[in-house]
Structure 1
Amino acid sequence: MGILRLHRTKLSLFLGLVLLELLPLIVQAESKVPEKSKSDQHSKISKSTSRTRTVCRLFFQDRATQQVKWADVRKGKTLTLETPAVIDGFPDLDTESQNLVQMEQSLGTLMVGVRDQEAGQDQSGWVFFDSGVKEESHGNHSHWYYKKQPKVIGTRLDTAQGNPAHLYCYQGVFYLANDRNSGYTRLDPQWYRDDPKANIKTGFHRGGGNHITLAVAAEKTGYSTWIDGGGPQKGMVDVTRILPDGNEQIAYSFALPTGAIHGATVCEGKVFFAPADGICWCEADLNPLPGSQSKVKVQHLSLGEDPETKKPGRTGAFTTQRNYVLFVSGTGDTARLCLLNASLDEPALISVPLKMNEGNSPAGLEVVKTAWGKRLAFVFHNHSQELEQNEYLSLIDLDPNGDLDYQDAQVLKQIKVGSSKVEGHYGHHAITFDHAGRYAFWTEPGAGKIQAFSLKSLKPVESFSVSGVPTKVIAVGQQDRRD
């Protein structure tokens, strides 16, 4: 029995020693199992939270730095805006003597005008850049790719660009008004898409002067205006045949009943102008020949009279949607959105009262067809910076019953917005829409923010703080349906 106890004791001692040696290995093996499990779990969480989709790419002008910045809007559980960056290759402008003016987009490219404080004798002109967004068309839908960063394609800043103020895009082609040169520059982004390595091609066309507004009909005829309110160029419109390489010859000119023309557009084969008194229009001439001015029949449409100043009602800019020309007019309680059905032989005025506060005027009109088929117009309530009051945006349903007749257009709501930072022609609110019509994005210059707005719920959904003073904004692309 003693010997047996002795063996048992030795055996227990031996097993104990073995267990002591194996214990670290067992603990290590056991500890690896939960660590791996936690790692896998963390990985799954990271992947699920990082699954965001690109909604569109925003480009906005920063009034504080005179730069164009960009950032992608991403969608996960909420909308987010990536950190804005300056476009690669964008020129350094003098914030005291140069200003960015109008900006437009076409075929994945953008163009922005540059104006100087020395009547074009310093450094004015334009910047043309690639958005980095690629659209792949599949007939009834497109796929959008955001893999490349934006970059400047070409810049022209010198003393020979005529100090532009207005930039237009007709039929996908850019037209920059060279005010002091009495003409405009044509730049077709399709040449860049066809051959990105080719030299930039532009064509200068003679027509208009001082502060040019422009309408281009069917890529064939340019109607360029003079701003003069008196003298030999009062109400003058120059008509020029559009050619790829430019055209120094004006085919003919004609005059409107009043001058101070500050707007022009084309819709349904008609050309519309915004002079000092009401609206003027004429049939578009797609084969302008010298001496044909006698064939032009200028029609006039009155916008009434300002009840206080007794001056004729007028507007300063147009936008179009389908067969309608849209514009704003009036101030305070006489402010209104106006529509003209350009397909009619005699377009009649449709007015939608906007009911603004005293001292406010309608501005920044833009129109969108949403992804859900609604046609909406947005108008900001503009006022001078000295006027301290809340700021608003009017939202108008252009076609409540969906019959494509805008006679029943009506205001849906007024939305409170962040402050503007108005300095003359600059610092106003601006709005843009993604290509699908799911979201609107507007700038609030005084607050340094960009607001995202759902075009489905018709409510603000997110607010993004950005550095500087964001003004003009453009959205390129839409959320890829494959995401």
Structure 2
Amino acid sequence: MRSNLRSQRGKLTGFLVLTVMSTFCIASSTAASGQPEPMTRIVWQDRDRKTLMWGDLVKAGASLILKPGGPVHGFPKLDKERHELVQMERIGNVLLVGVRDDDSGQFLSGWVAIDLGVDEMPHGDHSDFTYRSPPQVLASVLDQSQGNPAHLYVYDKAFYLANDSLSGYTRLTPAQLTGPADQRKGTFHRGGGAHITLAAVDHKVGYGTWIPGGGPDKGRIDVSDLTKTGDDSIAYTFHLPVGGLHGAVANSGRIFFAPSDGVYWVDADLELKQKAETVVINHLSLGKDKDSDRPLRTGAFTNHRNWVLFTTGALENSALCLLDAAAPQPAIIRLPISVSDGLSLVTPDAFATAGGKRYAFVFQNRKEGAVQEKLTIVDLDPNGDRDFADAAISKTIDVGPSRVEGHYGHHTISVDDDAKFGLISNPGSGEVWLLSLAELKIVGKYKVGGMPTKLIVVGGEESKH
């Protein structure tokens, strides 16, 4: 049962708090409890302002308060009408975000790298965190030669940013981004085209997809040698039987693809010994839509350990799907999720918690109508045997509104490095919510304004002593 809401105005200057559950009631002052202690840092995309904002979740006595820091220092000024912030990821203390324009990269597109200002200090069975500085720009490339990136991936502690209009992708490492200025542009590798999704393995080989559903590039996948750059990268090209490729992921030495029919996979060719005629292509069907008779598909994947997670279907066909990438013969495990008319499932996120549980978080975002949006939380391993075959829904909770426009305006969730809290963006209400991972309930709601969309959380409790 939820405890009653206590709502009061905080007297901490600059602290924006909408409502917080009584277990974390708002303190009227920090004077009695001493200096607030940082618990985690949040960086989020504000689509209204077309910039990155940040804030620290701090503990003041018994209260958890979101202390906003404003725009990320040094973030480039973007055109609010012509630019979009696309996907962003972090590796350790470095965050990368893509920037896309409305003219195939001929206005200004590229990327921005951020020093998040949080350092981890391991202490055996736990880590403390130092909040040494506000987040600030490390490096940025915005020009007419970046190919209008959209998708961004992390493989083997390297960023891979798809340069759609250049039919290739840029590989960047934290060492490059924090090193000498002349190394901060990364390396460009030819592969993929149109609207690229990609997978990479062991810094050796990359798989770049082409999205066309017909024509000569239908189902096309370029296999690239990551020890080479530019046009020399492509080792060979093969084609799936179907096109419409809009997802790719690497896991356990295999590459999985999401075309217009189910899921296809191949073994990663780390030694680049194959050619188009020798690639063994495997297909996993997701069934068909009973009304249209079209094959069911997915659009994107999430990795968690050796498991690949994704969603498929609509209404009564809606499901979270899981497959063990390391199995001798991968097979799809399907977990139906009840979805109301007007809602649709989005790509799941998955995290391990401080309590040892592993959860998948699946938002049900509004497509149309005035229906309540939801978050379904799935226990991936109820019996703790590392096999997700017994995955089961733990609970479904209400969330705030999204503001979906095409690829933008969806809810996102990110977990602190102590794995105790999830931070949820609500684009339609300008709020960030705090989810207790121990109780699986909302324990804080913070008004940040604008349109918070994608968010990243870094760091945990400053000191555990």
State the 1:241 CA deviation: 1.1
What corresponds to 1:9 in structure 2? none
Give the distance between the partners of 2:186 and 2:229, measured in 1 at CA.
Answer: 7
In structure 2, the CA distance between the partners of 1:292 and 1:138, relative to structure 1 (3 Å rule), is: farther
Query: Which of 118, 133, 136 is matched with 1:151 structurally?
Result: 136
Cα shift readout 1:297-336 (whole Å, capped 9, x = no counterpart): 0100000001112110100000111111100001112110
What corresponds to 1:118 in structure 2? 103
State the 1:172 CA deviation: 1.3
Query: Which of 186, 189, 204 is matched with 1:205 structurally?
Result: 189
State the 1:243 CA deviation: 2.7
Give the distance between the partners of 1:318 and 1:133, measured in 2 at CA.
Answer: 28
What corresponds to 2:245 in structure 1? 261
State the 1:480 CA deviation: 3.2
In structure 2, the CA distance between the partners of 1:119 and 1:191, relative to structure 1 (3 Å rule), is: closer
What corresponds to 1:60 in structure 2? 44
Secondary structure of the equivalent of 1:248?
helix
Secondary structure of the equivalent of 1:190?
helix
1:110 counterpart letter in structure 2: L
Report which of the two structures shows the higher radius of gyration computed on alpha carbons.
1
Structure 1 or 2: larger helix share? Answer: 1
In structure 2, the CA distance between the partners of 1:247 and 1:478, relative to structure 1 (3 Å rule), is: farther
What corresponds to 1:397 in structure 2? 379
Secondary structure of the equivalent of 1:180?
helix
Q: Which runs of 5+ in 1 are unaligned?
A: 1-44
Give the distance between the partners of 1:46 and 1:309, measured in 2 at CA.
Answer: 60
2:427 counterpart letter in structure 1: P
Matched, 1:296 2:296: no
Q: Contact between 1:203 and 1:243, CA under 8 Å: does it hold in 2?
A: no
What corresponds to 2:113 in structure 1? 128
State the 1:412 CA deviation: 1.0
Q: Which runs of 5+ in 2 are unaligned?
A: 1-28
Query: Which of 446, 449, 458 is matched with 1:467 structurally?
Result: 449
Q: Contact between 1:364 and 1:431, CA under 8 Å: does it hold in 2?
A: no
State the 1:51 CA deviation: 4.2
Matched, 1:357 2:340: yes
1:2-401 map, 5 Å: 48-76=32-60, 77-138=62-123, 140-193=125-178, 195=179, 199-243=183-227, 248-289=232-273, 292-384=275-367, 386-401=368-383
Secondary structure of the equivalent of 1:333?
helix
Matched, 1:476 2:461: no
TM-score, structure 1 length as denominator?
0.87
Secondary structure of the equivalent of 2:232?
coil
Q: Contact between 2:190 and 2:229, CA under 8 Å: does it hold in 1?
A: no
Q: Contact between 1:364 and 1:429, CA under 8 Å: does it hold in 2?
A: no
Give the distance between the partners of 1:46 and 1:78, measured in 2 at CA.
Answer: 10
Give the distance between the partners of 1:382 and 1:72, measured in 2 at CA.
Answer: 27
What corresponds to 2:13 in structure 1? none
Secondary structure of the equivalent of 1:300?
strand
Secondary structure of the equivalent of 1:209?
coil
> Number of residue pairs matched?
436
State the 1:52 CA deviation: 2.9
**Aligned structure 1 segments of 4 or more residues deviating by more than 4 angstroms:** 45-48, 196-199, 244-247
Q: Contact between 1:204 and 1:247, CA under 8 Å: does it hold in 2?
A: no
Secondary structure of the equivalent of 2:290?
coil
Give the distance between the partners of 1:457 and 1:416, measured in 2 at CA.
Answer: 15
What corresponds to 1:39 in structure 2? none
Query: Which of 404, 426, 441 is matched with 2:423 structurally?
Result: 441
1:412-431 map, 5 Å: 412-431=394-413
Percent identity over paired residues: 46
Cα shift readout 1:404-425 (whole Å, capped 9, x = no counterpart): 1111111111100110111111
Secondary structure of the equivalent of 1:82?
strand
In structure 2, the CA distance between the partners of 1:79 and 1:196, relative to structure 1 (3 Å rule), is: farther
TM-score, structure 2 length as denominator?
0.91
1:251 counterpart letter in structure 2: A
- Of 303-312 and 239-248, more deviation after overlay is shown by 239-248
Task: Tell me the C-alpha RMSD between the 2 structures.
Answer: 1.6
